[in-house]
Amino acid sequence: MLDLPLPVYGYVGAVVLSVPVLWWSVASADPPGHLVRTNLIRGRARPSDVREVELTRSARERLLEPILGLCSRTARRLVPSTMVTSLENRIARAGMTGRWPVERALAMKLIIGLSGFGVGLLAIASNPSPRSVLLTVALAGAGSSAPEILLAQRARARQAVVLRKLPDTLDEITISVEAGLGFEAAMAEAGRSGSGPLAEELIRTLQDIQLGVPRSAALSNLVNRTDVPDLRHFVIAVRQAEQYGVPIAQVLRVQSKEMRERRRQRAEERAMKMPVKILIPTVFFILPALFIVILGPAVLRLADSLGR
């Protein structure tokens, strides 16, 4: 057996234990159709023994889910309610409400945070010092913040997709309304013909309206789930049109024009930033290599002539 320091074994154990936890957190939940078929098969089989009922469940349901459920309940008691609400909003903005419920995120915060804290304790045991204490605190904080960082990255990517597809979707809604469809019917047509997170959010908004949610409240929920400024301006304009009796087709036409103009301005802004972004790799990577290629032979010849 290799004679290694104690923290090395702790690091290796933490990495090995984190693999199944990360797999469980990233893996999507079972699709509803699969769950329905599984429940129907279980009901048709009608096992009469409790042991048989327990064995019909998968290994993850029998072993991993109870532990993670305990972790989520413990984390919910420790975490303030405002933080839980903020975490739910992050999950909704990332579009992972069905795949990654708040209980899973809370369990991940607790497990990864405790893992980082345990690794830090091993570092303190091997080398007690203020640096080890700071390392322990940093690892625990980074571990507990890892799910939120992952959700924030996913939310930013989702918001970029929504922002990119919003002008085209709004054009489609405007054309449909001007062709004679109602606003909700135009949203349904844009949601069915489109793809991506914006189409999914439009369909979900229509489902909320069909369940009895007022249209203004359903549109507000749409804004809260996406948190895209351009979409918020569009919803405010639609709500004001309803309030003051302005024709919805006129509002949509104006909003569509503004969205296209904003997209063009964003493209111009990115184009203006490109020279500045290219300057850094040019100065630090390309120019030194170019100077070496150009001036290298001259320097070698000069050194050779001076040496003689």
Alpha helices in 127-247 (DSSP H): 130-178, 183-193, 197-210, 215-226, 229-244
What per-residue confidence (pLDDT) applies to 30? 46
What is the predicted pLDDT for the residue at 29? 46
Rounded CA separation 183/249 (Å): 9
Cβ–Cβ under 8 Å, residues 213 and 180: no
Global pTM value: 0.68
Per-run averaged pLDDT (10 residues), the chain, 308 residues: 53 57 50 54 51 57 67 73 81 81 80 82 80 84 84 89 90 89 88 87 90 89 88 89 85 88 88 86 84 84 76
Q: What is the DSSP string of 10-66?
A: HHHHHHHHHHHHHHHHHSPPPPHHHHHHHHHHHHHH---SHHHHHHTS-HIIIIIHH
Give pLDDT, residue 203: 92
Distance CA 232, CA 259 (A): 12
**CATH second-level architecture of 160-263?**
Up-down Bundle (1.20)
Residue-range domain boundaries for the chain: 6-154, 160-263
pLDDT for res 2: 46
Per-residue pLDDT, 60? 61
**pLDDT confidence of residue 121:** 81
How many angstroms separate the CA atoms of 100 and 88, rounded?
10
Q: What does the pLDDT read at residue 1?
A: 43
